[in-house]
A = this chain, B = another copy of it.
């Protein structure tokens, strides 16, 4: 019989000064926290066979980043950049350069905890205008200085790491203005450095802030919403938690302007055309390798949160749940907005965390046939016109019940999820303080691939002892969906983590999925890219690279596999 106990670790909630390693791996807001609750803590202790004593000595990494990594860029170059953007907008201190080179990936956090500083840029400059960006690119191209772009620092694919050093453009300081708002066309044009909350606030308050008749929403809410930039969404092909209704970023972008080494490249605002190849989709996802995004026009939607309808269900099996999920996406009555289906392990984990596990409600559910490690949780919302959201909810209800689902809506499961949708990642810090890593990998599947990919990845992960592997589908289309894997392990050193991560990437690849649905490729997944898209596709990417960036100054060093090193190819980067 389980022992009741009251111990809870003393999760760190003290100050995290700017300049420390902790400030760099902490999720977004230095003053915000979300700690594992009792249910989650118990699950971790049980899974990793730990005792309360193991949670007594956190490793906090509150030591400051020291000035041991001098810039390799000639002082003369830095002086020229200062002439362009102003001296106050040029930074060569190690902390800033590290901040604009590492992202929010687990490998970044692990390296920061080990004080490993590598592949950082030599100088970070914050341009104030597109014209300044033009001048910097021209200067860097003439002098063969590499160039990366920093937006919100939320990359989880080593997207802005700078193995070749050089300049980094920090778009988050000044390049965040609204350039145009067109209410007739329902579009907004912004500079790329603006963050999600600022854009959303402007649109929600469009009458007050833009002189509009109505209120709008951008409809794009990635988990990194609070600290990711619109530019980052575009160049990595991001998605938001409501993208099943609002569309992925490639569906939201109407037109774009890039400054490239060979000139300014603009696409046009017409919603569709038959004027030859369309180039929006080769700039979206170019991950900084072709040029710097300087303006983007996005479609916007009416902001009507009062129309939102919520639903949640429990299915008896993963198979039933996936069948219902697919039937909804192919039902031709409109798409849900949030639409999130958890596999049995994720469902059971959620039930433990929310204290439903072993409760009277759980007993009742089991009697009705909703068994642990078989049952699956589906939650979601509908957005849009009121009659439309009601219709979608009614149809979703109907399909789910036909597949034997139990209606959970009265328990407000979706509302609970919404409450923590952007804050869960704060728990990463707490876990890592005690040597536990929680990380994610994701991919896209066609419907007929889904079970194969899910089974194959799980089989691989579960071969490893004491490893949690949760999966959900959170973005769907009539022809397929994403699969999002969350794994939790105890680690001793970085390679424990990498062995698992690289192994999962191998399984994703060999089972036929696309290597990413919305995280992008960066330098981390680059070694797997050609294996998925093929040699001819890769050659075409090289042709485009050659066209836009003949001197390979734009985000060089392996992003998208364009100039991948032998070390990267072998799926191993050594750590300095």
* Docked pose: A541 CA to B309 CA in angstroms: 46
Cα–Cα, bound, A248→B88 (Å): 50
Does A319 sit at the interface, judged by CB under 8 A?
no
Task: Enumerate chain B residues within 8 angstroms of A481, measured Cβ to Cβ.
Answer: 271
Q: Are B516 and A274 in contact (CB under 8 A)?
A: yes
User: With an 8 A cutoff between CB atoms, is A486 at the interface?
Assistant: no
Q: Which one, B273, B285, B301, B475, contacts A276 given CB within 8 A?
A: B285
The distance in angstroms between the C-alpha atoms of A103 and B394, with both chains bound, is 49
Binds B, one of A69-77, A116-124, A444-452: A444-452
Copies, count: 2
Q: Is A185 an interface residue (CB 8 A)?
A: yes
Classify chain A's interface size.
35 or more
A29, CB-defined interface residue at 8 Å? no
User: Are B385 and A333 in touch, CB under 8 angstroms?
Assistant: yes
Instruction: Pick the residue among B332, B520, B540, B560 that contacts A279 (CB under 8 A).
Output: B540
Residue of B nearest to A445 (CB): B270
- Per the bound structure, the CA–CA distance linking A537 and B480 in Å amounts to 32
Known: A278-B250, A333-B385, A334-B388. A513 touches B270 (CB 8 A): yes
Q: Are B272 and A278 in contact, CB atoms less than 8 angstroms apart? A: no
Assembled-state Cα–Cα distance A276/B560 (Å): 7
B interface footprint on A149-165 (CB within 8 Å = 1, 0 otherwise): 00000000000000000
In contact, A285 and B277 (Cβ under 8 angstroms): yes
A333 to B326, CA, bound (A): 21
**Are B479 and A186 in contact (CB-based, < 8 A)?**
yes
Specify which of B239, B248, B271, B534 is in contact with A477 (CB 8 Å cutoff). Answer: B271
- At the interface with chain B, which of A51-59, A259-267, A362-370, A373-381? A259-267
Is the pair B266, A536 in contact by a Cβ cutoff of 8 Å? yes
Whether A361 is near chain B, meaning CB under 8 Å from some CB there, is no
Known: A271-B444, A274-B238, A529-B276. A534 touches B186 (CB 8 A): no
Most buried by B among A387, A521, A540: A540
Contact call A540/B280, Cβ cutoff below 8 A = no
Residues of B within 8 A of A285 (CB): 274-278
A274 & B237 in contact (Cβ 8 Å cutoff): yes
Bound complex: CA A248 to CA B263 (Å): 31
Verify if A384 is at the interface (C-beta below 8 Å from B).
yes
A179 at interface (Cβ–Cβ under 8 A)?
A: no
List the B side residues contacting A330 at CB < 8 Å.
186, 302
Q: Which of these, B237, B271, B277, B301, contacts A283 with CB under 8 Å?
A: B277
Tell me how far the C-beta of A80 lies from the nearest C-beta in chain B, rounded to whole angstroms.
26
Shortest Cβ gap from A474 to chain B (Å): 12
With beta carbons under 8 angstroms apart, the residue of B272, B394, B544 that contacts A444 is B272
Measuring CB to CB, which residues of chain A are less than 8 angstroms from any residue of chain B? Answer: 182, 184-187, 236-239, 248, 250, 254, 262-287, 299, 301-302, 326, 330-334, 383-385, 387-388, 391, 394-395, 444-448, 475, 477-482, 513-521, 529, 532-534, 536-537, 539-541, 543-544, 546-547, 560
